[in-house]
Amino acid sequence: MTVGLNLLSFNAEVLGLAAILVRERLMPGPESSGDALHVAAATAHGTEYLLSWNVKHLANLNKVKHLQEVCRRTGYVPPTIVTPDLLWT
């Protein structure tokens, strides 16, 4: 059985949301690459989970509420950001 993966596009919607995440100090800049772009792509494309080993910016429990607030304020449902160890518990 072959399972395909969908690639998420970095369209204007994603880039705009990434800029908001940087402006709101949720993610470090630049918004055109890195953590902000990853979260924005997952959010704008409606993914349920975002897997990351990056606990400094992405899977940071201190930022979860702020991320949820900013995403919802802009009309998005944020993904649940998890680390691999959380998937095994």
pLDDT mean across residues, the chain: 85
> What is the per-residue pLDDT for 34?
83
Residues facing residue 82 across a β-bridge: 51
Higher local confidence (pLDDT), 29 or 79: 79
Residues facing residue 66 across a β-bridge: none
> What is the per-residue pLDDT for 33?
79
Residues 6+ apart with CB under 8 A from 56: none
C-alpha to C-alpha distances, 86 to 23, 53, 57, 82, 83, nearest whole angstrom: 29, 11, 17, 6, 5
Report, as an integer, the average pLDDT of 73-80.
92
Note the pTM of the prediction, 2 decimals.
0.82
Residue 10 φ/ψ, nearest 5 degrees: -100, 75
